[in-house]
Structures are given as structure tokens and as C-alpha cells.
Amino acid sequence: MRIFDIQRSLKALGHDPGPLDGVWGGSARSALFSLFYVLRAKIAPGAETWPQARLLIAAEQAVMSARGVDLGMIDGLEGPRTEAARRSFAAPRPVEPQARPHAGSVIRQGRAGHPVREITLHCAATRPDWMRGRPLREQIEEIRRWHVELNGWRDIGYHWLVGRDGSVLPGRPETQIGAHVRGRNSGTLGICLIGGHGSAASDRFADHYLPAQGAALDRLLREISARTPIARVSGHNEYAAKACPGFDIRRWLERAE
Ligand SMILES: [Zn+2]
């Protein structure tokens, strides 16, 4: 599979590889990690540090795996299973958009039925000890009060919230358009991490959040990705001059931190 074929396949699978130019650049790499995200259970550890040659083989394995060819672990290494998969997967065949790993289910939002294809992460910008000892349910009611009474919105702006102890509860229903990222709310789910006060956009996840929150966020992203074709996981700070969610999301997604 040539780099061009990998780019084309990544695009057909709903991940943005940048221009289809046959050059293995940052956008293609980022699209690969986005696909890895969906396939995470199959990725051998350490992918973020693999050299380019191994990443390219892994890209080929990931594309084949996402399109239903069973080749075991995605490890970027040549082997009999990869060779057998390659033989059964004629490389430059047309790529059908419906061959996505979430088996066709889509979350739709609002009256227009915008398909959900993105998740944007946020923080509550609360101090580590904010409402300590109170259940996430009560913390959500407090944030809902800010959004409804102070901002005048009809409901809390986020779809999901992740508590300090790793508990996860819904906010606004997923089928309603949220209020969390200006100009990009349609077709996007907002997840809010409790914490993040005093953070900067370049900080690391662990500077402001607890391991239980990271594990819960991982599970939640995987669980949503199984129900709708998520092409991008973003941070609010990628679309606005804000610290929110208080860490560098690309680095966190690639687990380079
Ligand atoms: Zn935000």
C-alpha cells in the first residue's frame, strides 16, 4: 500500500489526512493516530515513538483492520499475518465510506439531524478541591445553574462530565446541539473535565487531572466512537484563545507525554 493509498483510506474512514499528495506528513500522521484511537484495543504499546517505517506498516495494518481484515495486533511489524492480510486486501481498490468501524450507527443532533463527527474537550476551570466530597451529580447541577441562570442557556452546555474520581454522568442529551464551542456546536459533543483551574493550553493532562479521570475519559471516547463516526477529538483551545481544557490535546491523544 502506497502512502497515497494510506491517505485515501484514512480519509474514507473519516479521518482527515490533509492533502492526498503521497507525502507522509504531520496531517497524515495525525489522521493515523485518530484511527488508532478508534482501534486502540488492537494497538501494541509505544506507537507514538515508533520510527516512520514502522508507522507506515502500522498504518497499513490499521486501515486493513478498520475495514474488517483480522490481522491480530497492530504492531507495525512485518509478519505472516500481515502478509496474508495484504494478499486478501487488494491494495488500490475503491474505498467505501460505509466500511467504518462503528458499523454504521450515527448520533444525530437537533432538528436538522447533524451527524456527530467530533468531540471537543473542556474543563470546568474549578479548583482541585471544588465541592470536595459532593457527588458529581451535585457538581453538575451547580454547573447547570451557571449555564441556565447566569448565561441564560436552556440547559447545561456540555453533553458529558467527568468527575475527579473518574465518575461520568451525562449533561445535555447527545441528540441536542450543545453550547460549548462557539461556531462549532452542530455535530459536536462536549465533554467537560471537573478541575483545570489555572491551567494553560500547553500544560500536560496530569498537571491538572487525576489518573482516574484519564481512564474514564479514555473509556468515554471509545464508547462514543463505537456509536458514531468520530473523525476528530479536539480541545476547546484549538478553536479559541483559551486554556480550556487546560492541556495539549494532540500530545495527550498521541500519548507523547
Ligand atoms: Zn471549554
Cβ contacts of 111 within 8 Å, gap of 6 or more: none
Asked: is 108-253 a CATH 3.40.80.10 domain? The reply is yes
Q: What is the pLDDT of residues 40-77, one digit of tens each?
A: 888 888 888 888 889 999 999 999 888 878 788 899 99
Say if residue 245 is preceded by a cis peptide, omega within 30 of 0: yes
pLDDT of residue 101: 52
Residues noted as catalytic: 122, 158, 236, 242, 244
pLDDT of residue 186: 97
CA of 171 to the centre of ligand 1 (A): 14
pTM for the full predicted model: 0.62
Greatest pairwise CA separation for the chain in angstroms: 62
Q: How far apart are CA 29 and CA 24, in angstroms?
A: 7
pLDDT of residue 257 exceeding 50? no
Straight-line distance from the first to the last Cα atom of the chain, in angstroms, rounded to the nearest whole number: 30
pLDDT of residue 45: 85
CA of 245 to the centre of ligand 1 (A): 6
Quick count: other Cβ atoms within 10 Å of Cβ 12? 19
- Higher per-residue pLDDT: 177 or 89: 177
Mean pLDDT throughout 2-24?
Answer: 84
pLDDT of residue 204 exceeding 90? yes
pLDDT of residue 93 exceeding 60? no
In the predicted model, what is the mean pLDDT of the chain? 89
CA of 146 to the centre of ligand 1 (A): 14
CA of 69 to the centre of ligand 1 (A): 38
Q: How far apart are CA 218 and CA 126, in angstroms?
A: 21
Mean pLDDT throughout 233-244?
Answer: 96
In sign, the C-alpha dihedral spanning 7, 8, 14, 16 is: positive
Q: What is the pLDDT of residues 112-147, one digit of tens each?
A: 999 999 999 999 999 999 999 999 999 999 999 999
Q: How far is CA 14 from CA 7, 33, 209, 213, in A?
A: 11, 12, 30, 27
CB-CB contact of 182 with 240 (8 Å): yes
In sign, the C-alpha dihedral spanning 194, 142, 157, 222 is: positive
Angle at 236 between CA 142 and CA 185, to 5 degrees: 80
Q: How many residues does the chain have?
A: 257
pLDDT of residue 102: 52
pLDDT of residue 96: 44
Q: How far apart are CA 91 and CA 126, in angstroms?
A: 50
CA of 157 to the centre of ligand 1 (A): 10
Q: Where in the chain is the domain with CATH 3.40.80.10?
A: 108-253
CA atoms within 13 A on the CB side of 52: 6
pLDDT of residue 153 exceeding 70? yes
Q: How far apart are CA 81 and CA 101, in angstroms?
A: 20
Strand partners, 192: 122, 161
pLDDT of residue 99: 42
CA of 206 to the centre of ligand 1 (A): 18
Give me 139's grid cell: 457538581
